[in-house]
Amino acid sequence: MADRFFPNEMPDFVAEAAEDESTSGRAKDSLTRLLHLPYKSLSERLQKSALDFKEAVVRETWGLRAKRVHDYTLYTGALGTAYLLFKAFQVTQNENDLKLCSEIVKACDSASRDSGRVTFICGRAGVCALGAVIAKHSGDERLLERYLTKFKEITLPSDLPNELLYGRAGFLWACSFLNKHIGKDTISATRTRPVVDDIIKAGRRLSSKGKCPLMYEWHGKRYWGAAHGLAGILHVLMHMQLKPDEVEDVKGALCYMIKNRYPSGNYPSSEGSESDRLVHWCHGAPGIALTLVKAAEVYGGKEFLQAAVDAGDVVWNRGLLKRVGICHGISGNTYVFLSLYRLTGNVEYLYRAKAFACFLLDRAQKLISEGKMHGGDRPHSLFEGIGGMTYLFLDITEPSDAGFPAYEL
């Protein structure tokens, strides 16, 4: 088990020192010195580093590929670079980032025209939704309308799965993204309600009496995690207007997961799995922690808050993964602490987020070059590579607004 992650040897809490104290060299090593930095100084460093990485990501995923798109997805492809540029624009207000983002989305639009995929992270809904939001920020009304029309033309096949990456939940997330960034009811309940109905119906069909009120299968397995399973679907449902009996089923499913987690506090990757290994956003405590934070925000109550806190402890102890990315790496796991900080206002969580980010800033490149850490199969992508780390470094500048990309709204 220990070979999946680095032992977390960072202190449980370090109070911020004054700038001159933290840089005076009294602290022994560079990571410890970073941990002592005042938040403002640290976020400036993270941002500076992020802007350099962003250039590298754009060069590798766009410039050097002659601006041709083979993989258009947000997960590993060009749309991920566009999403990163949108974040950079939000943080720095650099109009060039917005323009480049728009250009990349346009290429993704052409590349995805005949794609049957319908979700935000791996499908055409992500392209059209981000295109519309970028057009709005650019003040281009006609382009905005064009992308919204394309979005509304997306049809969902009847045999679509329900999970986030390829299924109904991933389409609904795109609808929520548009409603947040363009305006309430941009995609109305007339469009989303039948999709919610299908998800609830499918979940109840697989539920078993006295166990979990909603259950789903993807490729024959009953996954629990954020990417392909229950946690991701429940998370999206909590953004929707639900009927009282549906709310009860969502709560019941969450309680079932909490009750049946491993003694370690981690969560199985699928129903009945006894191998307590993965502490990823896609499988395990991190993705489920974000869903539990959402549950605590929406439903209140101590149970969800406590479960989210417990899951956060698992991530602190076992989440310093030997991978860099958002989906199954340190960058994604950092968002658990940002989410808990947003929920509780407790500065210890802000410290933990900082600590994971400092570890990446201080060591990731070196560890990757030494082969001690995996840079991702698609090493510049948003979900697997340094694109995700770059996104985190920019996002952490405003911790109370930060959110796991394409998951937390």
Q: In angstroms, what is the minimal distance from the CB of 12 to Zn ion?
A: 27
Instruction: Return the exposure string of 78-103: e unless at least 16 CB atoms fall within 10 Å of the residue's CB, then b.
Output: bbbbbbbbbbbbbbbeeeebbebbbe
Residue with token string 């449980």: 12
- Site for Zn ion contains 226 (CB under 5 A): no
Based on the shown chain and the rule CB under 5 A, indicate whether residue 33 belongs to the binding site for Zn ion: no
**Binds Zn ion by CB under 5 A, chosen from 36, 136, 261, 328:** 328
- Tell whether the torsion through CA atoms of 394, 395, 401 and 406 is positive or negative: positive
User: C-beta of 1: minimal distance to Zn ion in Å?
Assistant: 17
Residue ranges at the known binding site for Zn(2+)? 282, 327-328
Q: Does 253 bind Zn ion (CB under 5 A)?
A: no
Number of H helices, E strands in the chain: 17, 0
Mask for 308-327, x = binds Zn ion (CB under 5 A): -------------------x
Is residue 354 involved in binding Zn ion (CB under 5 A)?
no
Does 292 participate in binding Zn ion (rule CB under 5 A)? Answer: no
How far apart are alpha carbons 151 and 131 in whole angstroms? 10
Question: Which among 230, 355, 243, 335 is positioned nearest to 283, based on CA atoms?
Answer: 230
Please give the size of the binding site for Zn ion, defined by CB under 5 A. Answer: 4
Closer Cβ to Zn ion, 124 or 328, answer by number: 328
| Residue 295 lies near Zn ion (rule: CB under 5 A) | no
> How far is residue 150's CA from residue 2's CA, in Å, rounded to a whole number?
47
CB of 225 to Zn ion, least distance (A): 8
Which helix H or strand E contains 205, and what residues bound it? helix 189-205
Least Å distance between CB 332 and Zn ion? 8
Closest approach of Zn ion to the CB of residue 88, in Å: 24
Quick one: 304 or 356, whose CB is closer to Zn ion?
356
Whose tokens are 């981690």? That residue is: 266
Task: Please check whether residue 134 is in contact with residue 98, taking contact to mean a CB–CB distance below 8 angstroms.
Answer: yes
- Binding residues for Zn ion (CB under 5 A): 280, 282, 327-328
